[in-house]
Structure formats: C-alpha cells, structure tokens
Amino acid sequence: MRHQPIPRRDGDGPATTPLWVATAPAGPQLPTLAADVEADVLVIGGGIAGMTTALHLAEAGVDTVLLEAGQPGDRATGWSGGLVAPDYIRHTPETIGSVLGRERGERLSRMIGNSARAVFDLIERHGIACEARQDGFFTPAHSESLSQNQRSYAAQWSARGFDVSFVEGAEARRRFGVERYCGALRFGEGGSINPLAYVRGIAGAALAAGARLFAQSPVETLDRVGDRWVARTPGGTVSARRVVLAANGANATLHPAMRRTALPLHVVQFASAPLDPDQRRSILPEGGAFTDKMPYLFTARLDAHGHLVSAFPVSFMVRGAKAHVREAKRRLAQHFAAMPQPQIDYIWEGLAWVNPSFLPELYDLGDGALAIQACNGRGIGINTQLGIEVAAAIAANNRDALSVQPRAPHPIRLHGGASLLPKMLMSMAYLSN
C-alpha cells in the first residue's frame, strides 16, 4: 500500500488534522455539481452511510446521485478512530429483546454481529487499500463483576453463532500491555481500518458502479416539488424520486422533522509518535483494537506506521488545545507502563452524534425519504451495514431488507439542555477516573 509521506513532527506541537489525512491514499477527484440533474435516488452526505448506500444502489442498477458538502469522509468518518466494533453500546443480545421485542431484537443483533464482516468483505471485494486488520475488537473489563457479566455476553453472542469469547485476566493484560484490566470480551471478526482510506475506496467503487458523485456541493435546501424531491446546491439542483439523508447530525438542517433528534458528543482523537521496538513488544503485540467499559472510556489501536491511536471524550474539565495534549499524554502514560513519556504527533477533535436510544435509527420522512442516523460511536460497521440494507430495500422496493424498522422522528425534549448532557456526564466520568 502506498502512503503519502508522514509529515515530520517539529517543535511546534502535534498536527491538528486527523492522522488519516496524512496516511490515506488520495480518493477520486469528484466534480462539483454545476447543472440541474435528475436521478432516481439522491443520497445526501459522503461519509460511510451515504457512500455505502450509493455504492450498493448503483450496483443494483439504480440511477443514483450523491451530494457531499466537502470531500468524502470530511466529517465523523474521517475523524474517527477506525475501530471496527461489532457490538452494542448499551445492550446485549438478550437485553435488546426487552426493548425491541424478541424478533426485532434478534434481527438487530444479527445485523450488528455481522457488521464487522460486512466491512472487511467490502474492503476485500473492492480491493480497498485502507490498512484493514481483522485482528479482533476487545472490550476490556476493569472489575471482576464486569468480567463476570462479560463472560455471559460472550455466551450470548456465541450462542448466536458469532466468534465472541472471553479472554481471561493475565492473557488480556499481555495482549494490551495494560495492567488495570481483569479480562476482556473478544469479538474475533472486529479490527481496525484507516477510515478515510475506506470511504475514499468506497467512493471509487461507487463511481465505477455508475453512481454520480459530487463533492463541494452542499445541499442548501431540500423541498418536495410535485412528486419529486429537489435539492438545491450553489451550483445546481438534483431532482429525484427518492432521497436518503446521510448527513449525520446535519440531517437536522435538511428536513425540519430531523431537528433535535440527536445529541452531540465531542471526542478528542489522537495518535502518538510511532512506537519504538520495545513498546511494540508490549503494547498490542498481536494487534487488535479495544475500547474499555470505564465511564471515561479508554481506547487503543495501532495504525500501519506504529502510531498508537486513542481518544477521550470532551468534558468541561479539560479545556483548550494545550490541556487536550496534556490529557492525551496523561491517558497513555496512565494505561501503558511502556509509555511513561508519550509524544503526541496528531490530535484532532471530532463530533460524533448519539441517538437517545443508543441504537442505530432509520427515520421515515414520508414520500420516499429516509434518514440514516446511527452514529453512536459505532458507525464504521453499523453504518456500512445500514447503507447496504437501505440500498437493498430501495432497489427492491421492500423494507424486509431492513434490520432497523424506520420510524417517524421524535424531537428530544428540552434538546438545548440535553445537548449539554454528554459533556456533563463526561465531566463526572473524568472526575471518577
């Protein structure tokens, strides 16, 4: 795999662009919309959700146009950590039944359980060069009681045919190079990718399949005109029979019913300097990616150049760029004995959106309009799956393809105050860390 050279770090501090911008192969050059065009389906947003939908629509022979405000992967997708994590945030295959009912719960578990495989299959099928490593996703436990629960979660997933197991304490500590963990849930089909390279690769595949993709073409208005949807951009319009909103939190700016349906979660993502050989021997020596279950969560993976990529949620307690760098260093030193004085090469802040349900959501906006809103910090796998399913449902005009039942959007009550909640909870989590 060819990479652009990694910029040398100098005394000015870390770069504030995502690591992936320096390491992802260039994507296809996309035109800006400069005419009025027609399509069967319009997809708005060129992150994982929109690009995967456009690819699979085009492969099914559906005439598809995608409009992206910037470049593919410019937002959550290209800012993310690139962990491929086929797991729920809050639920388990057994508890989900009490939320959705048994049948829909099982269906969603199958979709989530298969989401990592969907990512790596797509990468293989299209030969996408994106540092793909299917070497496991882990959720380490920091207490014996959580370990006990995780043994049960492992049994729940494996009873459903998934390669999920529990890794005991000493083995977990050896695998991660972190002394504080007592064990870990292991998802064998998970792993990590360069997320920007991934979405650029999907864009290339979508073009080859016949989708028309436009970059630097922000949708300013989306209106119903007769029996069609018309999206207006600065350079032209798209008129389509059906529309898929895949602009993540910005779906709220595209359709009034999408306002106040998600909460912002600010995350600082960072990458260390490439690890030295001693550190490589003790930190994730066999690869793999993990996100632990602490309220102030800790996460880690390596990229192809040996940078350790990690993150922390933004709170009111750690403010400003310098404090973010100090916190990044503190977190690495706190977890890895082999990194007493970490150097940070890249640090950037991204905006993830969470649904109050902590579950992937599809919203039915009527008149052939669907919105994908499924971030919750697990979008690499789940939004890939949703894009595949939404495309299949549209192409066959049959919603049976969907593991998530589309529903009408409901605004979150007291949304202004609720939007502060993630930062408040993370401030409390920081204090208890």
Report the C-alpha gap between 302 and 66 in whole angstroms: 32
Q: Which of 204, 377, 409, 422 binds ligand FAD (CB under 6 A)?
A: 377
Please provide the distance, in angstroms rounded to a whole number, between the alpha carbons at the two ends of the chain. 39
Using CB under 6 A as the binding criterion, the count of chain residues that bind ligand FAD stands at: 42
Cα gap 231→221, rounded to integer Å: 6
- Exactly one of 211, 213, 302, 380 binds ligand FAD (CB under 6 A); that residue is 380
Residue span binding ligand FAD (CB under 6 A) among the ranges 9-17, 26-34, 72-80, 147-155: 72-80
Q: Is 69 in the site for ligand FAD (CB under 6 A)?
A: yes
Interface with ligand FAD, residue 18, by CB under 6 A: no
Stretch that binds ligand FAD, among 46-54, 56-64, 137-145, 393-401 (CB under 6 A): 46-54
Angle, to 10 degrees, between the axis of helix 102-113 and the axis of helix 379-396?
110
Q: Does 41 bind ligand FAD (CB under 6 A)?
A: no
Q: CB nearer to ligand FAD: give 311 or 365.
A: 311
Cβ(290)–Cβ(299) below 8 Å: yes
- Residues numbered 165-194 forming contacts with ligand FAD, rule: CB under 6 A: none
Which of 81, 105, 204, 409 is the binder for ligand FAD (CB under 6 A)? 81
Q: What is the nearest approach in angstroms of ligand FAD to the Cβ of residue 190?
A: 10
What tokens does 1 get? 């795999």
Please tell me whether residue 138 binds ligand FAD under the rule CB under 6 A.
no
Please identify the residue of the shown chain whose CB is closest to the bound ligand FAD. 379
Displacement of CA 212 from its chain's centroid (Å): 24
Distance of closest approach, residue 237 Cβ to ligand FAD, in angstroms: 13
C-alpha 259 chain-centroid distance: 21
> Per rule CB under 6 A, is residue 75 in the interface with ligand FAD?
yes
Q: Which of residues 236-265 bind ligand FAD (CB under 6 A)?
A: 246-248, 250, 253-254
Rule CB under 6 A: is residue 345 a binding residue for ligand FAD? Answer: no
Q: Greatest CA separation found in the chain?
A: 66
Q: Which of 19, 211, 219, 394 binds ligand FAD (CB under 6 A)?
A: 219
* Contacts for 261 with CB less than 8 Å, ≥ 6 apart: 251, 252, 355, 361, 363, 373, 409, 410, 411, 412
The tokens describing 48, both together, are 């994982």
SS3 271: strand
In three-state secondary structure terms, 184 is strand
Q: Minimum distance between the CB of residue 29 and ligand FAD, rounded to whole angstroms?
A: 17
Minimum CB distance to ligand FAD smaller for 182 or for 244: 244
**Which contiguous run of DSSP H or E holds residue 354?**
strand 344-354
Nearest to residue 129, comparing CAs of 26, 5, 271? 26
* Two tokens, residue 93: 């295959």
Under the rule (CB under 6 A), what is the footprint of ligand FAD?
44-50, 67-70, 74-77, 79-83, 85, 218-219, 246-248, 250, 253-254, 267, 269, 311, 350-352, 375, 377-381, 383
